[in-house]
Structure 1
Amino acid sequence: MSALDLVTDHDGTLVVSSETIAAGSGVQHKNVLELVHANRADFEEFGRVAFETRPLATAGGIQSRQVALLNEQQATLLMTYQRNTEQVRQFKKTLVRAFFDMARRLAAPQVPLSLPEALRAYAEEVEQRQALEAKVAEDAPKVLFADSVAASETAILVGDLAKILRGNGVEIGATRLFDRLRNDGYLIRRKGTDWNMPTQKAMELGLFRVKETAVTHSDGHVTISKTPKVTGKGQAYFVNRYVGQASRQAVAS
């Protein structure tokens, strides 16, 4: 597949699919799609993220799966969230060339009607690129954090995650973080033996693991104590999510 084949036209906008990014980056498509959903508010600062359903051949037959279609700015931002492997670095350059070459090919037959129109078009392009550069710079600490812990085998307590969030500008303690995780659907809200345990969604995303400890009581009977712990992937996920939300709230106020 040539560089130009990576990029397609979708309702007048040049886009690249999450499938193409996954294949080019050497990662699973579901992981790319998780990044899109987890940081969707960030991506939609550069336009609405389009989705479509495509057929997927599996051992059990033809199934369907959701695919994201990202414009140039969104795709560039997504690549900053990827682990910085050699394959990812090479694909970044390929993707930049693909967008540039496709835009040039489509624009070649067109000539601006006037000098003011050409100047306005150039000014808009510069403004979009400056906005993207500012966004990438703003997210740099989060991306570095994600690179350092996403593959870590070390799981931490929710209270320790609260300390990390405070170090990244989110004013929150352990109690408030537990409450927020319950309200956001990552921990079980209903009172009972499963209270504060990870939800099915959180476990499927790999954000938590549960530590089980045998406790022997004075009368000799043994119970199992369960403690939710945040995985390395979960630490990166929640820092990206909650630091991003805090930044947007600060800008809005």
Structure 2
Amino acid sequence: MNNLVIMKDQQAVTSSLQVAENFGKSHRHVLEAINKKIDSAENSAQYKTMFVEGTYKDKSGKQNKMYYMNRDGFTFIAMGFTGAKADGFKLKYIEAFNKMEEQIKTGGFKIPSTMAEALRLAADQQEQLEVMKPKAIFADSVATSHTTILVGDLAKIIKGNGVDTGARRLFQWMRDNGYLIKRKGADYNSPTQKSMDLGLFKIKESSHVNSDGVTVVTKTPKVTGKGQQYFINKFLENNSVISR
């Protein structure tokens, strides 16, 4: 019963998956109840602020629809659940919402200020909330970040989350899989067109004067927030080992 409520976009929320599981309901029926609220002519705009659509992967790897819901959305859905057991779960959810909202309000819940903190928060939540699926949380943590990091720093974060790798092996993997240019030359280790089109990297250019008095321009690939989400998800989905 841990983490009935989590933080998403600095708001206390739960999910349709959690509600279905804890109240012993079919997830399909919970989705139908939410869709009915959203599609209703009266107050439909308000309902749309209570429920945010998301996705999760089932055991076969298929992407399926789910919803995140805030306290008001949960109240509308759960009010139709009756019985002593249902009432007990409602009280637990109310308590969980209260605690999370208080933590957010008072600062007891630390909002991530760095990429490492965001990823660590996501990893902690994934360990305690298996049903929510870790990749969605990682995506929420880093997808919209404007912070870019070096490939070596990305390797450390990935390794810290259980995937055996290092900077050299990650560079090699990225070259072998078409994310960085492996052809020796001035563009060696630069992002490929594929990577740039996907928004996975930005290029940092710097210059210095060498001992011969020649100005040398160097290009360093830096991983964007979207790229961090992309690569972390890719390796953590199967707990991959990056060889070489």
Higher helix share: 1
